Amino acid sequence: MRYFWATILAASVCLGADHESASEPREGFQWAPALAQSALFLSIQHSVRFATEPGTRAALRGPFLRDYWRSATGVRGWGDGDPFIVNYVGHPFQGAVSGYIQVQNDPGFRRAEFGASEVYWKSRLRATGFAALYSVQFELGPLSEASLGNVGYDRKSSGAVDLVVTPVAGAGVMLAEDALDRYFIRRAENWSRNAAYRIVVRSMLNPNRSFANLLRFKVPWHRDTRGGIREP
């Protein structure tokens, strides 16, 4: 459980950091919609698990609290037995989606674009903190893989890999999508004003931002930093 508390502390510091500039106050973080969008994301993830993993469904049988405690305290070493694509592709994508949930609910920072500005890097640090909190909940929390499926009950099935890779590599994925959006997608939009073309470019080249947009019931190609696809 030391991973749980260390991650909570680090993420709380990131999210609790002062984000008011010397010149103007900024609107506070919107917790209610952020938690609602996170809950929707979590529901989708667990629905996929239950639909595709017979072992997860079978593990629902048995004493809930005892099995959950054993599972949540089962983190040992680094690996968890999952394939490379799950740990080093799927979980970074989870970190990026949850990071974008934070960004789109942080009014003082959500218009920050990739670059050297302090506002941008502070924004992505806060997003990484939020992604870390989401990851801890997904792995070990009351509505987690540990509680719903008893991942970790077998000591070989739980490790620190997901708790670290999800927020850290997720931040890297966000940086890549942010840079792509600013330096390529914006320019690509100038090559054609065809709406379908712009939809594809915005949506497909920023897949995790697109998914996070859907979680707040906006079109995948929405941008807080500029107008719609039909605007010049």
In the predicted model, residues of the chain with pLDDT beneath 70 are: 1-26, 232
Q: What is the pLDDT of residue 24?
A: 44
For residue 17, give Cα distances in angstroms to 107, 172, 192. 15, 21, 41
Q: What is the pLDDT of residue 22?
A: 36
Q: What is the pLDDT of residue 20?
A: 42
Record the tokens describing residue 166, joined without a space. 């999800």
> What is the identity of the amino acid at 36?
A
Q: What is the pLDDT of residue 153?
A: 85
Q: What is the pLDDT of residue 18?
A: 47
State pLDDT tens for residues 83-106: 999 999 999 999 999 999 999 999
